[in-house]
């Protein structure tokens, strides 16, 4: 819908070298099960190389964690496991713990998406009430989970709604299809849930109309380049303070 194709990075056939070749002590410091580490070697990522001009939201105000780059940073001493746990899972579990969970997003102000590999679910902490209370896809019921202490390290997780992995990503995609999540550039995404001043009340319906005029949500009819250019022109003309002046190149 909006991402520059070059920002989606695909692992080599053998997996991400930065993770596969990392010193075991560094990986142990993350406190994850072997299943989690194996998963990280196989995931596609939205490239987050630290250059603000190339960082792209995966959801409103949300950066997905690029774990192949993060593990490389651990190897080079640019960060440490404790910091990564806090900014990806909001936890400071002891290094000797072996957790089946991994954070899919990164940053203090990001939405918190945490994958539980043992249950095959993704928790969404602080999920907007409009989505949580009226989901287009029902979350899983965790009331019957017999492991009463499985959330001892993260009390918030027992209250965060969770979806089966494919359902979670389908839920996110549906927000884009319905233009609840709205890209304002190839890099930046906003949503209808953002509180806006009276002067900005017309911005969301304006953007939604532009996308529909360019064929969205019909993938076969959608004209991505023309649409994003029209979005940028409209924002620069009517809401210049909200425009993202970066270009996809």
**Count of all residues that appear for the chain in the document:** 249
| End-to-end Cα separation, the chain, in angstroms | 16
pLDDT band at 117 (very low <50, low <70, confident <90, very high): very high
DSSP class of 99 = B
**C-alpha to C-alpha distances, 212 to 4, 67, 178, 190, 236, nearest whole angstrom:** 20, 35, 10, 17, 19
Give the tens place of pLDDT for each residue, 6-23. Answer: 899 999 999 999 999 999
Average pLDDT over residues 34-51: 89
Average pLDDT over residues 39-59: 85
Mean per-residue pLDDT over the chain, rounded: 88
pLDDT band at 90 (very low <50, low <70, confident <90, very high): confident
The region of weakest confidence among 30-34, 150-154, 169-173, 186-190 is 150-154
Residue 95 has pLDDT above 80, yes or no: no
Q: What is the dihedral of CA 34, 81, 47, 72, to 10 degrees?
A: -80
The 3-state secondary structure of 174-233, one letter per residue: HHHHCCCEEECCCCCEEECCCCCCHHHCCHHHHHHHHHHHCCCCCCCCCCHHHHHHHHHH
Phi, psi of 190 (to 5 degrees): -115, -175
Q: What is the largest CA-CA distance in the chain?
A: 56
Residue 179 has pLDDT above 90, yes or no: yes
Residue 220 has pLDDT above 90, yes or no: yes
What is the structure's pLDDT at 110? 84
Residue 223 has pLDDT above 90, yes or no: yes
């Amino acid at each position: 819908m909006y991402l520059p194709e070059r920002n989606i990075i695909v692992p080599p056939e053998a997996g991400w070298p930065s993770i596969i070749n990392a010193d075991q002590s560094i990986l142990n410091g993350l406190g994850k099960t072997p299943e989690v580490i194996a998963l990280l070697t196989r995931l596609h990522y939205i490239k987050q190389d630290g250059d603000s001009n190339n960082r792209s939201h995966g959801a409103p105000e949300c950066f997905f964690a690029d774990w192949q780059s993060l593990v490389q940073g651990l190897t080079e001493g640019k960060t440490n496991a404790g910091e990564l746990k806090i900014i990806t899972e909001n936890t400071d579990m002891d290094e000797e713990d072996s957790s089946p969970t991994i954070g899919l997003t990164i940053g203090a102000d990001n939405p918190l998406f945490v994958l539980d590999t043992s249950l095959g679910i993704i928790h969404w902490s602080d999920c907007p009430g409009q989505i949580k209370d009226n989901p287009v896809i029902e979350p899983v019921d965790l009331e019957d989970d017999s492991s009463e202490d499985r959330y001892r390290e993260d009390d918030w997780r027992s209250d965060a709604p969770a979806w089966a992995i494919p359902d979670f990503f389908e839920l996110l995609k549906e927000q884009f299809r319905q233009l609840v999540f709205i890209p304002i550039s190839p890099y930046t995404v906003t949503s209808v849930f953002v509180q806006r001043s009276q002067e900005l009340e017309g911005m969301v319906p304006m953007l939604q109309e532009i996308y529909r005029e360019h064929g969205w949500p019909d993938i076969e009819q959608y004209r991505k380049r023309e649409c994003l250019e029209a979005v940028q022109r409209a924002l620069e003309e009517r809401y210049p303070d909200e425009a993202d002046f970066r270009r996809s190149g």
